[in-house]
Chains A and B, each alone.
Chain A
Amino acid sequence: MKRLHTLFASSVALLTLQLALLGESSLADGTTGVSVQQLTPKPGQEITVKGDSLVANSQIEVILTGNGIRADLGNVRADANGDFVTQFQLPDNLEPGTYQLQAAGVESATTQLTVVGGSMVASSAGEMEQAPALRHRPLGQKIGLVAVFTVLAGLGIAFAQWRRRGAEPVSQ
Chain B
Amino acid sequence: MATRERTPRFRKRSTQAQPTVPDEKARPRGADLWGWLDDRLGLSALRYAVPKHANTLWYTLGGITFFGIVVLIITGVWLAQYYNPDPAAARASVLYIQNSVRFGDVIRGIHVWTAYLVVITAALHLIRIAVTASYKIPREINWLVGLGLLILLLFGGVFTGTVLRWDQEAYEAMSHNMEIASFFGTVGGFFSDAFTSSVGTLPRIYLAHVSVIPVLILLLLVVHIFLIKHHGISPTPAQADAGEAPGGRLPPEKETGHYPTHLRLMVGYGLALLGLAGILGVLLPQKIGAAPDPTMEVTKPPVFFYWMYAFEDWFGVQGILYAAIAFFGVLALLPFLDRTPFRSLRRRPVVAALGAALVILIVALSIKVAVSPTAKHLG
Contacts and interface: CB of A to CB of B under 8 A. Distances in A.
A109 interface: no
A1 to B, nearest CB: 9
Interface stretch (A2-10, A25-33, A78-86): A2-10
B91 A120 contact: yes
Given A66-B294, A156-B271, A146 B88 contact: no
Contacts of A71: 197
Interface string A133-172: 0110100001001101111111111111110000110111
Given A142-B282, A156-B274, A167-B258, A128 B298 contact: yes
B379 interface: yes
Interface in B49-75: 52-53, 55-57
B290 A168 contact: no
A153 B105 contact: no
Interface string B285-301: 10111111111101000
A171 B59 CA distance: 11
Interface stretch (B132-140, B200-208, B216-224, B227-235): B200-208
Interface stretch (A44-52, A53-61, A92-100): A92-100
A19 interface: no
Interface in B85-105: 86-92, 95, 98-100, 105
Contacts of B44: none
B247 interface: no
A15 interface: no
Contacts of B268: 156-162
Interface string A113-130: 000001011100111111
Contacts of B272: 152-154, 156-157, 160
Nearest to A148: B278
Contacts of A131: 167, 287-290
B62 to A, nearest CB: 15
A68 B201 contact: yes
B316 A2 contact: yes
Contacts of B316: 2
A13 interface: yes
Contact of B193 (A65, A122, A151, A156): A65
B292 A121 contact: yes
A68 B193 contact: yes
Contact of B261 (A68, A70, A132, A168): A168
Contacts of B298: 128
Contacts of B289: 131
Contacts of A168: 52, 55, 256-258, 261
A134 B97 CA distance: 10
Interface in B19-69: 52-53, 55-57
A67 interface: yes
Contacts of B201: 67-68
B264 interface: yes
B89 to A, nearest CB: 7
B267 interface: yes
B270 interface: yes
Interface centre among A2, A69, A145, A149 (most CB of B within 10 A): A149
Contacts of B288: 131-132, 134
Interface in B322-379: 376, 379
22 contacts: A6-B376, A66-B294, A67-B193, A67-B201, A68-B203, A121-B292, A125-B293, A126-B295, A131-B290, A134-B288, A135-B98, A137-B282, A146-B279, A148-B278, A149-B275, A149-B276, A152-B272, A156-B274, A160-B267, A160-B268, A168-B258, A171-B52
Interface of B: 52-53, 55-57, 86-92, 95, 98-100, 105-106, 166-168, 193-194, 197, 199-204, 256-258, 261, 264-265, 267-279, 282-283, 285, 287-296, 298, 316, 376, 379
Given A120-B92, A153-B275, A170-B261, 8 more contacts: A95-B87, A128-B290, A128-B293, A131-B290, A156-B270, A160-B267, A162-B264, A171-B55
